[in-house]
Amino acid sequence: MARAGGVPGAPAAARRAPPPPAPAPAPPVWPASTTPLGHGDLAVAGVPLTEIAERFGTPAYLLDEGAVRARCRAYLRAFEGAEVLYAAKAFLCRAMAHWMAEEGLGLDVCSAGELELAVTTGFPADRVVLHGNAKSPDDLRAAFRLGVGRIVIDSASEIARLAAAVPPGSRQKVMVRVVPGIAAGGHAKIRTGTDDQKFGLSLTDGSAQHAIARILGQPTLELVGLHCHLGSQITTEKPFLCAVRRLVGLMARIKDQHGVTLPELDLGGGHGIAYRPGEDSLDIASLARKVRAELTESCAAAGLPVPRLVVEPGRAIAGPAGVALYRVLAVKRTSGRTFVAVDGGMSDNPRPALYGVRYAPRLVGRGSLAGTEPVTVVGRHCEAGDVLASDVLLPGDVRPGDLLAVPVSGAYHLSMASGYNLVGRPPVVAVADGHARLLVRRESLEDFRGRDVGL
C-alpha cells in the first residue's frame, strides 16, 4: 500500500526524486541573465564569457540586449506618461539606436555625429533632443537639416545665433538649461547643477530669466520648456525633488511676467547605479512616484497646469547591461602590492583615472582553490594612473593568460575611449537568447594608418 501523498505503484526512487534545481541567481551587479557554468565560467544571456573571448578576442565588450530592453521598459513603467530620452553619450551605436526606437524611447544627443548616426539608422529625428554647452555650426546645420525635435539652449550667446540659423518659414522648438544651484553627483567633476561649472544658465544670478525673456522675443524660436541636469551618479531622490520645486517656481514667474505657460519640464538624468556589490543605486520606481507627487503639489501651489515630465537616463540603461573582458598579460609582485596587468586599460575605460571609479573584476574560465588576496588590476598604457581596479580580491594564483570580466561596463567606457598608444578600441558584441553577434568591430592598425595621410 502506498504511503499517504505517494503515487501508487511508483518506484521508491521515483518518489524520492528531488525537483529540478532552480537556475542559480545572477551574481550581484551582473546582468540578470548571468548564470554560473562549470570551470569557473559565467554565461550572459546564454553565451559563455569564454566563448566571447575566444571568438572576438580581448579586450572585448559584451552588451546584454535583453538587459538594455528591460531597463527601457522599467523606465517607461515607472515614468508612465512622461517622455524618456536615452542619453546617447553613455554609449551609442546603430544597434543601440535601433533598440531605443523599438522600445519607444527618445534620444538625447550632444553632437552632429551622434545625431547623424541615430537618424541614418532610422531613428525619428523629431524624437531627438540636441544638447551641448558649445554647439558648433556643424551641429546646428545637422539639427536643422535632419529636423531635430528640440534644441536645449545652454548660454545667452546661443540665442541670436540659433534664431538666425532657423530655416525660413519655420520655428525651432527650444528649451533652456537652467542651473538650479543644487550640488549632487558622485564626484566633483560630474556635478553640473551648481553655478561653478560650464553648463547652463544660473537661476541664482538671473541669467536664466534674462535668457528666457530674450528667447520669447525671437519669432523663429518656440520655448517649450525648462531643462536641468544636476550631475551623474546621484543615488538619492532629494536633489531631484528640490530641482522640481525651484523650476516650477521659475515657471510660475515666467507665466506672471510673460503670460506664457511652458508645457514641458526636463529633469535630465544622472540616476546612479551600483558598480560593486553593496553599493547604493537610485530606486527608479520610488524616484518616479516622488517626483510626480512633488510636481503635482508644486504646480497646484503655483496655480500652474502640470507640465509633461521628461527624463534622460543613459548610464542607468546601458551601464548594468555591459561586461568588459580582459586577458591577463603579466603579474608583478612588489614588496607592498601585487599588480595584475591586462591587455586593455585607460584607452577603453578612462573612468577610474578621471573619477576614481571602482569596479569588481572577476576571474572567469577556470576554477581556483587558492585563497583570495588584494591586487591592483592595471592597464597596458604608459601612465602610472592607468589603473582599472585598486585593491580588489582575486585568487592568489592569478596568472598570465587568465580571463578577467568586469561587470557594469556598458556606459562611458567605449564612448570615452581613445587611441592612446595606438592600441585600438575593443569590439562590442551583443548577446541575446544564447547567441552573440558583432555590433562594432575592433579598431585596427589599418584604421590608424588610413587616417594618417601625410608625411
Q: Matching CATH topology for 35-62+320-446 and 66-318?
A: no
Q: Which of the residues 110, 228, 242, 382 is marked catalytic?
A: 382
- Known catalytic residue: 382? yes
- Whether pLDDT at 88 is above 70: yes
Cβ–Cβ < 8 Å for 189, 358: no
For residue 12, what pLDDT band results from cuts at 50, 70 and 90? very low
* C-alpha Rg value of the chain to the nearest Å: 25
For residue 409, what pLDDT band results from cuts at 50, 70 and 90? very high
User: What's the full length of the chain, in residues?
Assistant: 455
pLDDT 10s digits, 239-285? 999 999 999 999 999 999 999 999 999 999 999 999 999 999 999 99
Per-residue confidence (pLDDT) for residue 7, from 0 to 100: 38
Cβ–Cβ < 8 Å for 411, 91: yes
Place of cell 554647439: 135
Per-residue confidence (pLDDT) for residue 184, from 0 to 100: 54
DSSP letter for each residue of 273-295: --SSTT-----HHHHHHHHHHHH
pLDDT 10s digits, 365-386? 999 999 999 999 999 999 989 9
Cβ–Cβ < 8 Å for 242, 267: no
Q: What is the CATH number of domain 66-318?
A: 3.20.20.10
pLDDT 10s digits, 36-78? 998 899 999 999 999 999 999 999 999 999 999 999 999 999 9
In whole angstroms, give the CA distance from residue 437 to residue 454. 36
Give which of 216, 233, 300, 294 is closest to 268, Cα–Cα. Answer: 233
CATH superfamily of this structure's domain 35-62+320-446: Lyase, Ornithine Decarboxylase; Chain A, domain 1 (2.40.37.10)
Give which of 122, 87, 52, 31 is closest to 427, Cα–Cα. Answer: 52
- Whether pTM > 0.85 for this model: the answer is yes
In whole angstroms, give the CA distance from residue 413 to residue 454. 31
- Report domain extents, the chain: 35-62+320-446, 66-318
Between 22 and 109, residue with greater pLDDT: 109
